[in-house]
Amino acid sequence: MAKQKKIFYLLAIFFLIFSLEQPNFSQVNKEVSKGSSLISFVAQPPLSQDEILNRVKAARAARQDFDDIAADVDQRGINFVPQEQLFNQLRFFRASIVNNALARADERRKALMTQPKTTETEVIENLSDEEKQNLKSLPFIEQARKVALAYVSSLPNFIVRQQVQRYGRPLVEGWKLGDYLELAVSYAVDRGEDIKLKLKNGRAANTTFEEVGGLTSTGQFAGQLSAIFSLESKTQFTEKGSTNFYGQPCLVFEYRVETRNSRQQIKIGNAQVITGYQGRLYIHQESKQILRMEQESIEIPYTFPILDATSSVDFGWVNIAGRDYLLPVNAQVSLTSREDRFTALNCISFNKYNKFDTDVKLVD
């Protein structure tokens, strides 16, 4: 993994960044693929228990490592409730990294299926009475815009634990396990995100977040969403059908922001560039809230060392100080270098949300 250490970092958005039901990506992917070149990464369906076990057995028989399987579990998630028997089987095959990825995938599944505990989420409390009255008369995407911007302005000050498993993949090989980071992220409405590196590979970090190197990102909480729905971005939206996302009915919209209207920045060393971006939004049909956001950079200059930059964010309900908020529970960010096609991937989970206070600390 020496090669991974030379890789870049990303500032994702530069401000200017129950019965068990699973997401049915196959339907929307089929619809989006018709006459469309959007999204170089297409969300694959979650893995089944048999798929994971069969791949682990095959890798064990071939004396191969399990890194690629773990990366797949982290990326795609799972469509089942894992039992202790499965974890024991993976321990027998000495597939500890798959066990760890499976545990993360189960936490992701549960987080995305969590329902609000309170009846009033007050997502649009910042809309005026007139705006609330006129909301239903607007086109669907304009309703989503109003709700998204109201959501951003209604976010509380909070602190959250961010866990990052990093992978790297050379052009003709599978994913290789990188390092593990644990971050404390505080978000304040007036100043955005503040990130502190707490652990690296399970040990207390002796560097700052800015010094850690490799692929990092910001903007998952409000930056990307604000940018997409900002009128200054002049975002083009196209409805692309419907899908079921973890038991929740959604309409899917493709979107595109041209470079001339963008504030998204990719940075590698001293080189940086503003790019346009495009992607997909999964919008709840009733509440008009964003449940999943996919994005890729476009029009990256040929002279820039990054060939491809993509990200996705999944939103789930979390309770902070007795009130429910729809906040990121999972994210993925990847960058591919132009010279050797090496790809760096971060699989991120967010948990232990708390109201931000100077006395609040993240605990294990």
pLDDT (0 to 100) of residue 224: 84
pLDDT digits (tens, 9 = 90+) for 51-83: 999 999 999 999 999 999 999 999 999 989 999
**Average confidence score pLDDT of the chain:** 81
Residue 141 lies in a domain: yes
CA 302, 303, 306, 309 dihedral sign is negative
pLDDT digits (tens, 9 = 90+) for 135-190: 778 899 999 998 888 888 888 888 999 999 999 999 888 999 999 999 998 888 77
Rounded to 10 degrees, the C-alpha dihedral 71/72/76/79 comes to -120
pLDDT (0 to 100) of residue 128: 66
Provide the residue range defining the domain that includes 343.
2-39+119-355
pLDDT digits (tens, 9 = 90+) for 242-261: 998 888 899 999 999 999 99
Residue 125 lies in a domain: yes
Residue 61 lies in a domain: no
Residue 293 lies in a domain: yes
pTM for the predicted model, two decimal places:
0.83
- Lowest-pLDDT range, 7-21, 143-157, 230-244? 7-21
- DSSP secondary structure, 48-102, as one string: PHHHHHHHHHHHHHTT--SHHHHHHHHHH-BSS---HHHHHHHHHTT-HHHHHHH
Residue 328 lies in a domain: yes
Helices within 80-183 (DSSP H only)? 84-92, 96-113, 129-134, 140-154
As a whole number of angstroms, the distance between CA 207 and CA 209 comes to: 7
Residue 109 lies in a domain: no
As a whole number of angstroms, the distance between CA 60 and CA 79 comes to: 23
- pLDDT for 16 beyond 50: no
Residue 288 lies in a domain: yes
Of 84-98, 115-129, 148-162, 309-323, which one has max mean pLDDT? 84-98
Residue 216 lies in a domain: yes
pLDDT (0 to 100) of residue 44: 79
CA 113 to each of CA 196, 247, 248, 312: distance values in angstroms, whole numbers, following the listed order: 29, 7, 9, 18
The number of distinct structural domains making up the chain is 1
